[in-house]
Amino acid sequence: MKLESISLKYEDSKLQLIDQTLLPFDETWLEVNTPDEMFQIIKTLKVRGAPLIGVAAALSLAIYAKTEKSAELFKSKAMYLGESRPTAVNLMVAIDRLIAVADKNYSFETIESEAIKIFTEDVELCESISSHGAALIKDGETILTHCNTGGLATAGMGTALGVINKAHTQKKNIHVYVDETRPLLQGGRLTTWELDKLGVPYNLICDNMAGFVMKTKKIDKVIVGADRIALNGDFANKIGTYSLAVLCKHHGVDFYVAAPYTTIDFKCPTGEQIPIEQRHAVELKGVKGHYGLVQWAKKEGVSVCNPAFDVTPAELVTGWILDNGVYNQETIKNIKDMQC
């Protein structure tokens, strides 16, 4: 079976991923042969976005199952890969699914078939989220978004960016403000790349412009993705999301989060329990990309705090756009019922 998206290609046990650290200027595809290579690719954000890392990890484990005959060794490699990024729960959800298959009937065929299912299911989940979300968007609206939540972050059309894409294809005349998303610039580098391809009109802004833009322009909605949603509706997403939610409250702007059920952590009661990934200090002392390394803080003697995600409390959320509909402050109490 052949799988293909804007960020991933898989056929005959050959997995290729677009190197997201080189975008938007350089479209280089990486071949991934082992889960150890996949671990590094995920850790260095060459592949990123909660749903996509789950899908990519699963397919790299399918390749591994071709040569690894021991279910026990397969499971320990899968657990190891699950440690590559701690906040996005989709990674462990995908790995748990493969481990359950390995426990029942371990073979290359059963593992590959489950990994393919994880890919195709994500495509469908994105489609459903996008349709539910697009129904909320009126012609002529302006939407602000953060980080990258499109085809570079999922196997399909995306979550928050999928909603924007769907509204655009429905011929709604929408405009987008794209947060640059410091420190690793997923908005500035990746969301602009996707919006250019989709033909959606946008303005790129620095994260610290969002408040002024809300005050001086007509922002109708903020829509973001999620890396983990707790059972009370609190959710973790790219650092800067919480600040946007607070700004929305002050300015009376609707604040939505869009995600598939695979982003819900059914074992996590509140946002307090969500593990937050702390990343390397070097990411705040400069930037590195196709342009090389630009550094503005000294290598030594500069103390850094670099949480990659923050947690937005449920009380700041207008609506949760999930694959089975849009939840509000009342109905979000029922998300535990989405567990399969």
Just list the catalytic residues: 227
**The two structure tokens encoding residue 50:** 């909660």
Among 121, 141, 227, 323, binds ligand MRU (CB under 6 A): 227
* Sequence-ordered strand ranges (E) for the chain: 3-4, 8-11, 14-18, 29-32, 142-145, 175-179, 202-205, 221-224, 228-229, 235-238, 254-258, 286-289, 292-295, 309-312, 319-322, 325-327
Q: Decide if residue 233 touches ligand MRU (CB under 6 A).
A: no
∠ at Cα 246 (240, 250), nearest 5°? Answer: 140
User: Which of residues 114 and 227 has its CB atom nearest to ligand MRU in the complex?
Assistant: 227
238 binds ligand MRU (CB under 6 A): yes
217 within 8 A of 142, measured Cβ to Cβ:
yes
Encoded tokens for 191: 């969301």
27: tokens are 């479209």
308 belongs to the binding site for ligand MRU (CB under 6 A): yes
Confirm or reject binding of residue 229 to ligand MRU (CB under 6 A). no
How far is residue 309's CA from residue 279's CA, in Å, rounded to a whole number?
10
Piece in contact with ligand MRU (CB under 6 A), picked from 55-63, 70-78, 91-99, 152-160: 152-160
**By the rule CB under 6 A, 35 interacts with ligand MRU:** no
202-205 and 175-179 strand pairing: parallel
Q: Which parts of 90-149 interact with ligand MRU (CB under 6 A)?
A: 147, 149
Q: What one-character DSSP code corresponds to residue 18?
A: E
Q: Is 192 in the site for ligand MRU (CB under 6 A)?
A: no
User: Stretches 42-50, 61-69, 115-123, 329-337: which one binds ligand MRU (CB under 6 A)?
Assistant: 42-50
Question: x/- binding map, residues 158-187, to ligand MRU, per CB under 6 A?
Answer: xx--------------------------x-
Residue 155: both structure tokens together: 């196997």
Which CB, 111 or 226, lies closer to ligand MRU? Answer: 226
**What is the four-CA torsion angle of 180, 178, 186, 79, rounded to 10 degrees?**
130
Q: Judged by CB under 6 A, does residue 38 bind ligand MRU?
A: no
Sign of the dihedral through C-alpha 74, 79, 85, 88: positive
Using CB under 6 A as the binding rule, whether residue 60 contacts ligand MRU is answered as no
Q: What does the per-residue mask of binding to ligand MRU show for 269-288, with x meaning CB under 6 A?
A: --------------------
Determine, following the binding rule CB under 6 A, whether residue 237 of this chain makes contact with ligand MRU: yes
Residue 223 near ligand MRU by CB under 6 A: no
Chain contacts with ligand MRU (rule: CB under 6 A): 48-51, 88, 147, 149, 153-154, 158-159, 186, 225-227, 237-238, 308
